[in-house]
């Protein structure tokens, strides 16, 4: 038989020094390349780049609030229909440095609109996702843990709510209310539908986790249910919950943008969706005012892509198998 | 119990030589199988035993070319009927599989595709090696015959795996494993997931089918008692090394390697209640095995020499090999003393 | 196979009817939560908006009759449920004397067609791409190309359609930007008309497909990665089956089941998205109908369109759920 590699040339004469074997060896160094060098799951490039984009957006918003006059987002504060610097509009006007990203047809400065509108759009998502997620955690844990009739009812509720295209109900509500609503009301309305998906998701996670050995051990040894939930299950559920939260946020922003595109959002201080709605109403496509609808569209797209990246990253953090597949 | 048929042939059907398999981890490679060599004779049943993590299943998957990443074969040679398995191209390997080497898997519970009927899973293996079978009636008869061999009722032909019991699923796997009359069948813990009664029946089915069809069989397991009844020879593995290989009677009557002695001693007996001699598993870091003998950290007889050199396999009697320095002729005195303490603890 | 349990069937039907009931009840309650008499308020705003309302009295009459606003609330409610069950959704105020049911009936096939074809495309393409991403035998260039085409994933389809209209209808005008078929054409089963429908439907369905198929690809890939570790995959390999056979019979076949579930879960979002896409293209479907009725404050039409779309969604989920036991042999065991 060939010599066993890994002895490392270290003479071990004394049998009692068995622990010296635990010292790290130099074998296998060539193969470590097949692993992610950053084995810490949080150092996932998708998660990091998504979070990075988000951080950068907020940094820009912060800078904008410091150095730009946000009152320019109000109608009539600026000249109309100006193109961004370096471009000309259909009237052959050159862009001017006072309005680097141009203006729209009621005299709002595009840069100021973005600085004001972007956090409003994201804010709707945060509020709606938080409320929906809170309800989802509560209901999901109840269903998964209490079981029985409670589980049946909650499961039925989610099954009924999930296929409902929520945008349509929101349209009915908005048009019945007949008055412009503020951002928070809109977010709360959206959250009426954003609890069902996380509830379903958390319930199934709780159920499968309940079957797992360590939770059953804890139950057998008489640990109170509440402690099992918070101490044993929550930490393991966290990446799933985070991914679910981000998915929820994406959904909520999508709903909000949908309502705004229909002209049903708060319009006095426009968010990104409302800005696009105005541009469509004013036939900006025909007039080739691409900066009006294009810039907010790109920003929204970047926000959505960042959210997706974070979500995918969290998925890989929660499920090591996906990580390995890269 | 009837007299067990032992193999007569001396023709080697499978020969494993110097096989080494590693699992890559960020902290370095884990040595799962460390330079093992053995041969399997035609019509023989070889048992491969050892505690969990000793590399017995990895050896099997290595022979089958199914080591899953991050595992990989470092070096070695695996010959089945003079075909070098490690040199086969992808398509050659595909054709070789199941005709040369087949597998009866460990977790029969999950080893069948849940969305395919039992018959389709047997038909697909036949058709992917023998081409499309146009005579469906003959194909059906052939599968019924396989069912009969393993004691399965014909009614399961059209069933899905979830409709079968654990024992039935395991028999389906056995029927599937011998469907193409392969040269060598490897049964990887084929009975571990079953309850004791079913275990015994399935094990007997395995031996019966093997004798009827005339294949050579490697049975991997940790139940020494069960293995004793179905195998001809036993190979004992410890931490990726093969420490002893011998005809089954010799191993039980006269275990030579200190580890084998511990293993045999650990078979529970109704007659006396004795404290377990094996109290711990493999203790060393598998990334960095001790120098010399792999077992010396747990060996009751170890001395300085064990750390200095790795014991080669000593051929003690006919077909009985053991890798332990005690059987080196120059240490005969030490061996006598050791065996004496073993006799009077 | 095919013999799924009564329990399963009953539960699915219960969910279906409950969804319809919840939708109808919401449509009943929401206008009543708004301040004031819903009908007078509506008419008042409509007059404000358009100067005057044709046949306002008739509309008020029909609505009063429909809602029976002087009856106790529960009588109103049950009458409303009864009317809704008979698909009597009242008159459209903006298009009087057309009924809501007529208008919806004209628009619904377009929406079903758009969503149906888009769903077929993104589900097929998405799952295929996901499978190719996970499969060890796929060529390297495919594994680079597919993620690139997926970069529009998660951008809302409505915004994507804005982009596509700008590029392919204005900048490089190779596709029409409006309507579901050519101007002045009369819907008929002629090659010309069908060609025109496909031509007009290309950009709208592309916006939905491009924005969604990546999700399905990622989902499929994730499922396959999980399945690859299953015991039956190792056995399939040991059996020496052909790689492509393993891919579709062992991997995709088992991964498609959870993907179908995911499809039922995402139908609501899909309809949301396609409503907006229709509006961007003024496609002749339900989305454009609801947009027009928002602009004319035609509340009955908004209600009716929303209700029918919710029912369609629930019906689609029911159909997928009931076909599920045909795909997954294990479902039939449930409740036995």
pLDDT at C69: 65
pLDDT at A85: 80
Of A173, A301, A322, the CB nearest to C159: A301
How far apart (Å, rounded) are the C-alpha atoms in residues B16 and B202?
27
pLDDT at B281: 65
pLDDT at A37: 44
CB contact under 8 A, A165 and C269: yes
Among all chains, which residue has been given the structure tokens 């005709």? B99
Domain that holds residue A251: 77-325
Chain C neighbours among A 135-194 (CB < 8 Å)?
156, 159-169, 171-173, 175-178
pLDDT at C120: 95
Number of cross-chain residue pairs from B and C with Cβ atoms under 8 Å apart: 80
pLDDT at C54: 66
Provide the domain count of chain A: 1
Per-residue tens of pLDDT for chain C, all 336 residues: 445 577 788 888 999 999 999 999 998 888 877 765 656 666 666 666 555 566 667 767 776 666 566 677 888 888 888 888 888 777 777 676 788 889 999 999 999 999 999 999 999 999 999 999 988 888 888 888 888 888 888 888 999 998 888 888 888 877 877 777 776 677 777 778 888 888 888 999 999 999 999 999 999 998 998 888 888 998 999 999 999 999 999 999 999 988 998 999 899 999 999 999 999 888 889 999 999 888 887 888 888 999 999 999 999 999 998 888 778 777 654 433
Question: What ipTM was reported for this prediction?
Answer: 0.85
Number of cross-chain residue pairs from A and B with Cβ atoms under 8 Å apart: 92
In terms of CA atoms, which chain B residue is nearest residue C137? B90
Instruction: Mutation target for C interface from B57, B97, B111: give the one with most C CBs within 10 A.
Output: B111
CB contact under 8 A, B114 and C232: yes
Chain C neighbours among A 17-56 (CB < 8 Å)?
none
* Contact with chain A for residue B17, Cβ under 8 A: no
Residues of A in contact with B28 (CB under 8 A): 24-29, 32
pLDDT at B59: 92
* Contact with chain A for residue C220, Cβ under 8 A: no
pLDDT at A53: 93
CB contact under 8 A, C14 and A156: yes
CB contact under 8 A, B115 and C237: no
The SS3 call for residue C99 is: strand
CB contact under 8 A, A322 and C31: no
Is A42 domain-assigned? no
pLDDT at A42: 67
CB contact under 8 A, C19 and A164: yes
Q: State how far the alpha carbon of B37 is from the alpha carbons of B239, B240, B296, in Å.
A: 15, 11, 21
CB contact under 8 A, C239 and B160: no
CATH of the domain at A255: 1.10.3720.10
pLDDT at B297: 82
Long-range contact set of residues A41-47: C-beta below 8 Å, sequence gap at least 24: A41/A239, A41/A316, A41/A317, A41/A320, A41/A323, A42/A317, A44/A313, A44/A316, A44/A317, A44/A323, A45/A313, A46/A309, A46/A310, A46/A312, A46/A313, A46/A316, A47/A309, A47/A310, A47/A312, A47/A313, A47/A314, A47/A316, A47/A317
CB contact under 8 A, B66 and C234: yes
Show Cβ contacts of residue A239 under 8 Å, excluding neighbours closer than 6 positions.
A41, A314, A317, A318
Instruction: Mutation target for B interface from A28, A320, A323: give the one with most B CBs within 10 A.
Output: A28
pLDDT digits (tens, 9 = 90+) for A196-254: 999 998 898 888 887 777 777 777 887 787 777 777 777 778 888 888 899 899 999 99
Is A230 domain-assigned? yes
pLDDT at A38: 43
Residues of A in contact with B304 (CB under 8 A): 13, 15
Residues of B in contact with A23 (CB under 8 A): 288
In order of their start, the domains of chain C are 1-94+296-336 (no CATH), 110-285 (1.10.3720.10)
Is A41 domain-assigned? no
Query: Which stretches of chain B drop beneath a pLDDT of 50?
Result: 1-5
* Contact with chain A for residue B307, Cβ under 8 A: yes
pLDDT at B298: 82
Number of neighbouring beta carbons within 10 Å of residue C208: 25
Tell whether the model's pLDDT for residue A5 goes beyond 50.
no
* Contact with chain B for residue C257, Cβ under 8 A: yes
Please state whether the predicted TM-score (pTM) of the whole model is above 0.80: yes
Show Cβ contacts of residue B233 under 8 Å, excluding neighbours closer than 6 positions.
B44, B45, B46, B47, B245, B246, B247, B248, B319
* Contact with chain B for residue C330, Cβ under 8 A: yes
The band of A6, judged by pLDDT with boundaries at 50, 70 and 90, is very low
Of C232, C235, C240, the CB nearest to B95: C240
CB contact under 8 A, A200 and C33: no
Is A53 domain-assigned? no
Is A149 domain-assigned? yes
CB contact under 8 A, B115 and C239: no
Name the token pair of C321.
Answer: 């759920």
How far apart (Å, rounded) are the C-alpha atoms in residues C231 and B106?
8
CB contact under 8 A, A169 and C306: yes
Is A220 domain-assigned? yes
In terms of CA atoms, which chain C residue is nearest residue B128? C241
pLDDT digits (tens, 9 = 90+) for A30-83: 333 444 444 566 678 888 999 999 999 999 999 988 888 878 777 777 777 778
A296 or A213, higher pLDDT: A296
Is A243 domain-assigned? yes
Name the token pair of B132.
Answer: 């499309």
In terms of CA atoms, which chain A residue is nearest residue C45? A178
Cβ pair A46, A308 in contact under 8 A = no
Tell whether the model's pLDDT for residue A25 goes beyond 70.
no
pLDDT at A72: 78
Residues of B in contact with C245 (CB under 8 A): 124, 128
Is A18 domain-assigned? no
């Amino acid at each position: 038989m060939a010599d066993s590699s890994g002895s490392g040339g270290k003479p071990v004469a004394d049998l009692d020094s068995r622990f010296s074997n635990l010292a790290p060896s130099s074998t296998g160094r060539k193969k470590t390349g097949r692993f992610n060098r950053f084995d810490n799951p949080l150092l996932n490039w998708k998660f990091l780049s998504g979070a990075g984009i988000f951080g950068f957006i907020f940094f820009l918003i912060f800078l904008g609030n410091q150095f730009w006059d946000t009152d320019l987002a109000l109608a009539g504060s600026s000249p109309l229909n100006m193109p961004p610097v370096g471009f000309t509009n259909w009237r052959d006007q050159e862009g001017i440095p006072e309005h680097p990203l141009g203006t729209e047809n009621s005299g709002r400065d595009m840069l100021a609109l973005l600085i004001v509108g972007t956090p409003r759009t994201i804010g709707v998502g945060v509020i709606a996702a938080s409320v929906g997620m809170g309800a989802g955690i509560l209901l999901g844990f109840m269903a998964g843990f209490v079981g029985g009739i409670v589980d049946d009812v909650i499961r039925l509720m989610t099954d009924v709510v999930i296929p409902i295209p929520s945008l349509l109900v929101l349209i009915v509500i908005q048009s019945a209310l007949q008055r412009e609503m503020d951002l928070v009301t809109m977010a709360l309305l959206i959250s009426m539908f954003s609890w069902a998906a996380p509830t379903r998701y958390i319930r199934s996670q709780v159920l499968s986790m309940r079957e797992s050995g360590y939770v059953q051990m804890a139950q057998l040894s008489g640990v109170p249910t509440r402690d099992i939930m918070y101490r044993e299950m929550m930490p393991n559920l966290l990446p799933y919950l985070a991914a679910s939260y981000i998915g929820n946020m994406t959904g909520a922003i999508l709903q909000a943008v949908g309502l705004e595109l229909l002209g049903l959002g708060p319009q006095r201080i426009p968010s990104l969706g409302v800005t696009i709605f105005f541009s469509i109403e004013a036939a900006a496509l025909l007039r080739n005012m691409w900066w009006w609808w294009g810039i907010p569209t790109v920003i929204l797209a970047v926000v959505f892509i960042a959210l997706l990246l974070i979500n995918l990253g969290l998925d890989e953090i929660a499920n090591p198998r996906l990580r390995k597949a890269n | 119990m009837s007299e067990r048929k032992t193999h007569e042939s001396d023709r080697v059907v499978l020969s494993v030589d110097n096989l080494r398999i590693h699992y890559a981890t960020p902290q370095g490679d884990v040595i799962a199988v460390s330079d093992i060599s053995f041969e399997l004779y035609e019509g023989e049943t070889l048992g491969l035993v050892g505690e969990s993590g000793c590399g017995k299943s990895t050896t099997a998957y290595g022979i089958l070319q199914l080591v899953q990443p991050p595992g990989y074969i470092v070096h070695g040679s695996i010959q089945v009927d003079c075909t070098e398995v490690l040199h086969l191209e992808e398509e050659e390997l595909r054709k070789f599989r199941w005709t040369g080497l087949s597998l009866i898997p460990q977790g029969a519970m999950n080893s069948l595709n849940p969305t395919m009927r039992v018959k389709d899973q047997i038909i697909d293996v036949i058709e992917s090696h023998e081409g499309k079978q146009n005579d469906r009636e003959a194909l059906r008869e052939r599968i019924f015959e396989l069912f009969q061999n393993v004691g399965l009722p014909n009614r399961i032909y059209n069933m899905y795996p979830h409709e079968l019991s654990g024992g039935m699923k395991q028999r389906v796997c056995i029927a599937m494993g011998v469907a193409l009359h392969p040269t060598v069948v490897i049964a990887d813990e084929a009975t571990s997931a079953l309850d004791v009664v079913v275990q015994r029946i399935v094990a007997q089915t395995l031996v019966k089918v093997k004798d009827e069809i005339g294949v050579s069989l490697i049975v991997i397991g940790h139940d020494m008692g069960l293995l004793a009844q179905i195998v001809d020879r036993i190979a004992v593995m410890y931490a990726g090394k093969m420490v002893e290989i011998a005809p089954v009677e010799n191993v039980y009557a006269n275990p030579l390697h200190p580890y084998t002695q511990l293993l045999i001693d650990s078979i529970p007996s109704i007659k006396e209640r004795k404290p377990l001699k094996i109290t711990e598993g493999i203790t060393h870091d598998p990334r960095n095995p001790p120098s010399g003998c792999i077992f010396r950290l747990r060996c009751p007889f170890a001395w300085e020499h064990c750390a200095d050199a790795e014991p080669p396999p000593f051929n003690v009697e006919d077909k009985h090999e053991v890798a332990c320095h005690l059987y080196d002729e120059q240490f005969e005195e030490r061996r006598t003393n050791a065996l004496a303490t073993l006799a009077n603890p | 196979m095919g013999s799924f349990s009564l329990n399963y069937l009953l539960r699915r039907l219960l969910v279906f009817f409950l969804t319809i009931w919840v939708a109808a009840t919401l449509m009943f309650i929401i206008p009543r939560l708004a301040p004031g008499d819903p009908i007078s308020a509506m008419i008042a705003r409509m007059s404000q908006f358009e100067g005057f309302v044709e046949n306002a009295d008739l509309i008020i009459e029909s609505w009063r009759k429909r809602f029976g606003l002087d009856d106790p609330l529960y009588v109103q409610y049950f009458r409303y449920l009864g009317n809704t069950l008979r698909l009597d959704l009242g008159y459209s105020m903006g298009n009087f004397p057309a009924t809501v049911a007529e208008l919806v009936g004209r628009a619904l096939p377009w929406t079903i067609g758009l969503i149906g074809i888009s769903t077929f495309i993104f589900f097929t393409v998405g799952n295929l791409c996901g499978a190719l991403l996970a499969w060890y035998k796929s060529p390297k260039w495919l594994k680079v190309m597919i993620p690139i085409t997926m970069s529009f994933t998660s951008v809302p389809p409505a915004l994507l359609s804005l982009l596509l209209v700008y590029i392919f209808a204005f900048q490089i005008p190779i596709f029409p930007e409006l309507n579901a078929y050519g101007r002045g054409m009369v819907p008929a089963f002629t090659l010309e008309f069908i060609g025109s429908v496909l031509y007009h439907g290309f950009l709208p369905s592309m916006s939905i497909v491009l924005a969604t198929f990546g999700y399905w690809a990622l989902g499929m890939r994730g499922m396959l990665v999980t399945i690859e570790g299953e015991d039956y995959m190792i056995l399939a390999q040991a059996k020496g089956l052909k790689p492509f056979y393993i891919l579709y019979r062992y991997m995709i076949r088992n991964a498609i089941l959870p993907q179908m579930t995911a499809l039922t879960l995402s139908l609501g979002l899909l309809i949301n998205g396609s409503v907006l896409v229709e509006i961007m293209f003024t496609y002749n479907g339900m989305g454009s109908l609801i947009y027009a009725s928002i602009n004319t404050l035609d509340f009955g039409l908004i209600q009716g369109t929303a209700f029918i779309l919710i029912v369609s969604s629930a019906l689609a989920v029911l159909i997928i759920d009931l076909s599920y036991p045909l795909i997954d042999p294990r479902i039939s065991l449930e409740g036995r």
